[in-house]
């Protein structure tokens, strides 16, 4: 079975943590975030733990850091500030990178 691409760091990490998605079934998470350093990611994780993540926050933190450390967190906004995605169209999990990466000009890989 092909691996999935996630379209939201906060939602995807939460769904992996609570067992709705297996981590080994995820190719990468494509996020609208723009964390330039691991330290900035840690600050984002702190904010997510206050706003989005309930339950096992430490498990969510560990998952997010693993994706960062393994190069499986793709942040197109770092190279193109016009990047946006509408996760309400097509769902949070998709089958290809092209399905989750969209900028205001065109679809791209």
pLDDT tens-digit series, residues 8-65: 999 999 999 999 999 999 999 998 888 999 999 999 999 999 888 888 899 999 999 9
Task: Give the contacts of 79 (CB within 8 A, at least 6 positions apart).
Answer: none
Quick one: pLDDT at residue 4? 96
Q: Can you tell me which residue has the tokens 């498990």?
A: 59
Q: What is the pTM of this model?
A: 0.84
Structure tokens at 46: 């702190």
Helical residues (DSSP H) of the chain, grouped into ranges: 9-17, 38-51, 57-69
């Amino acid at each position: 079975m092909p691996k999935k691409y996630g379209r939201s760091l906060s939602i995807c990490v939460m769904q992996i943590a609570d067992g709705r998605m297996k981590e080994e079934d995820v190719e990468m998470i494509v996020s609208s975030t723009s964390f330039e350093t691991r330290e900035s990611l840690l600050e984002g994780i702190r904010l997510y733990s206050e706003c989005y993540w309930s339950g096992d926050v430490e498990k969510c933190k560990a998952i997010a850091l693993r994706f960062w450390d393994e190069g499986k967190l793709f942040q197109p906004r770092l190279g193109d500030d016009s990047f946006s995605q509408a996760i309400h169209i097509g769902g949070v999990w998709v089958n290809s990178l092209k399905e989750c990466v969209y900028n205001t000009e065109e679809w791209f890989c």
